[in-house]
Amino acid sequence: MSAPKLTEEQIERYREWFEALDEDRNGSIPLSRLESALADTVGMGMPLVFKPYEEWQRMIRDADADVNGTIELHEFLHMMARTNHSKSAARFYRRAFKFFDIDCDGYMTPDELYSRIYRYQKHITNEELSAFMEAADGNKDGKISCDEFVDFMMS
Ligand SMILES: [Ca+2]
Ligand SMILES: [Ca+2]
Ligand SMILES: [Ca+2]
């Protein structure tokens, strides 16, 4: 098994997630707990608009390498590494982009982003959306291309 490639920073962040999810602090997280939690933490704290729930479930089941019904830290890190850096992640974000590009012109505008996100997460603020636009809009033309989106989500 090849070791997952994560930066120190990512390992630190994922370890914090893991510890937050490991409520009884025994070093393992039941699959069911992880499933419901991941649904809320996918990318940018956005809800689960990017990926069908069944795919997450499958990914989590796959992550339980020793099939003991719980995810241990090393299994968790391995799963996050695969999610972050695999080609399938890029494919997944490209598909997600299409979801936001409502008029299919190849760009995600603030209006499109807002109308999609709002359906799932009513409490998102204009400031949060602007911050996302600002951060993801690499060439600062006020809209997000598919490449900009993928780069941002995978950075
Ligand atoms: Ca396990
Ligand atoms: Ca568009
Ligand atoms: Ca742009």
Total-model pTM: 0.54
Nearest 5°: CA angle at 85, between 33 and 17?
Answer: 30
Q: What's the mean pLDDT in 108-128?
A: 77
**Model confidence band, residue 30 (pLDDT cutoffs 50, 70, 90):** very high
Structural domains in the chain, CATH included, are 8-84 (1.10.238.10), 89-154 (1.10.238.10)
The rounded Å distance from CA 105 to ligand 3 centre is: 13
Q: Which residues are within 5 Å of ligand 1 (an ion), measured at CB? A: 64, 66, 68
With bands split at pLDDT 50, 70 and 90, how would you rate the model's confidence at 43?
very low
Task: Please identify every residue whose CB atom is under 5 Å from ligand 2, which is an ion.
Answer: 101, 103, 105, 107
